[in-house]
Amino acid sequence: MALTNNDILKKLRIALELRNEDIVEICKLVDFKITISELTALFRNESHPNYKPCGDQLLRNFLNGLIIYKRGKQEEPQKS
């Protein structure tokens, strides 16, 4: 069975010991807004009526924000 974007997000949250508030802050680092209630819908069971599938854009923005969160912002090279 292939992993869904929701599964990947859940596994990263557990592995990195992130709280929902941390994920919201990580997304803010790349100017992507998500609320805690939207986030909890992603972590629900697929059979739950309020389940929401995690789109590619959300996962991509989270991963890009996670890079900044872990490494810090990369400085722009100075122009001569």
Instruction: Determine the Cα–Cα distance for residues 71 and 78; give it in Å rounded to an integer.
Output: 20
Mean of pLDDT over the chain: 92
Tokens encoding 19: 């709280």
Mean of pLDDT values over 57-76: 90
pLDDT of residue 76 exceeding 90, the answer is no
With contact defined as beta carbons under 8 Å apart, do 80 and 68 qualify?
no
Q: What local confidence, expressed as pLDDT, does residue 49 receive?
A: 94
